[in-house]
Amino acid sequence: MENRLGQGAGQVLAPLKQMLPALEALYTDVHAHPELSMQEHRTAGLAAEHLRAAGYDVTAGVGGTGVVGVLRNGPGPTVMLRADMDALPVKEMTGLPYASTLDAVDREGRTVPVMHACGHDMHVAWLAGAASLLAQGRAAWSGTLAAVFQPGEETAEGARAMLDDGLYKHFPKPDVILGQHVMVASAGEVGGRTGTITSAADSLQIRLFGRGAHGSMPQASIDPVVMAAATVMRLQTIVARELSPNEAAVVTVGSLQAGTKENVIPDEALIKLNVRSYDPKVRQRVLDAIARIANAEAAASGAPRPPEITTLDSYPMGVNDDSAGERVGNSFRDYFPAARVHRTGPTSASEDFGSFGQAWQVPAVFWFVGGTDPDTYAAASASGEINKIPSNHSPYFAPVIHPTLETGVETLVVAALAWLGKGTAAAPA
């Protein structure tokens, strides 16, 4: 038995099967031609072309390579659907027939391999498919649809760049912002929750200053290597000793650089670290503790000057609006068989998707779509080896195209119609 939402979604999604070969071609093309963050020219061109062909009013070059397509279809709410487009400096090892063999030049001028190791190519294909279907099926809904293809998610700059470029001045203010990510879970299944969905992430660089000297004359030095080592060890106590067992955070030192030669005590040491947190108060305490420890270790060493602490990037915590999250969850449970819709915990991954809702002060909902072959996932689950499935950012990350592709198109259409669908538009928020 289908309700009115089900009928609307069924009507809009009817041509999906016929559209799949074209969407698959778009997906494998984008996969084979990945582009680094803020360099997504080709991908943005494909997205813009696709939206124009579907009848959208298209603006390209928003915040660099961002693309916005707007479809006005009568009175009603405005829904913004967002996909990110960037790839990563990873050498693809999947062996897929459409694997990337490309290199690119990064911001520092280095030539690096490029791969869609986070699945943003799938996100592009999902949004392209949903945008086309909603345009074709416009008789089934009323309102305004904005399809946003965002650059630079992996560097936490794309959403900000689009907002700074006037996204919220030049385009209609949405009533809700919807986004999704492919991840390791059974393909065809969807997971989400209300409340916190993605962690806040902060990357910092700590530059420690010492005094260089000959390795045989430590008394002439203030050794930044020892200072850095003590700092790294002491940083471990933040999570272990300063947070309660009920609070969660991650402090990972991912890079530690000092010196060039065994008999030269260097002048400086550089620490790069990453923090994940799920609570603004915990986040602030962790960041304060890092600054306190870095300064105190430098002082303990007698450093000539205090360390320089710089923020490299910062992702806001992703929080799904309670009421909008419920509405999305209900629409999924109406449309999909119950076994395909799951309530998940928050993930320690981070996203700049949250920036849009924060800037506009409107509800946002983000969810996950499985991309792992269901049999592979079931076998790994049974043997307790889910962590062995190559996950996002792995050189072996390879979502199966079906049914991942169709599921992500369905979720976007179904969720958008929870606001735009006739008979649902007037439903209480």
Look up residue 413 and give its DSSP letter. H
Distances, alpha carbon 386 to alpha carbons 125, 240, 390, in Å: 26, 27, 9
To Zn ion, the closest distance from the beta carbon of 351 in angstroms equals 7
Separation of CA 333 from chain center: 24
Give 4 or 393: the residue with its C-beta nearer to Zn ion. Answer: 393
**3-class SS letters over 248-277:** CEEEEEEEEEECCCCCEECCEEEEEEEEEE
Which CB sits closer to Zn ion, 48 or 115? Answer: 115
Give the other-Cβ count within 10 Å of 138's Cβ. 18
As measured in angstroms, the least distance from the Cβ of 36 to Zn ion is 12
Which CB atom, from 118 or from 258, has the smaller least distance to Zn ion?
118
Does the annotation mark 108 as catalytic?
Answer: no
- DSSP for 280-314? HHHHHHHHHHHHHHHHHHHHHHT-SSPPEEEEEEE
Positions in the binding site for Zn ion (CB under 5 A): 118
Of 51 and 118, CB closest to Zn ion:
118
| Maximum separation of any 2 CA atoms in the chain, in Å | 83
Beta strands in 172-248 (DSSP E): 176-186, 190-192, 195-198, 200-209, 213-214
Q: Is 175 a catalytic residue?
A: no
**Closer residue to Zn ion (CB): 22 or 250:** 250
Q: How far apart are the first and last CA of the chain?
A: 24
Instruction: Spot the catalytic one: 40, 121, 153, 154.
Output: 154
Are residues 304 and 210 in contact, defined by beta-carbon separation less than 8 angstroms?
yes
Active site residues: 84, 154
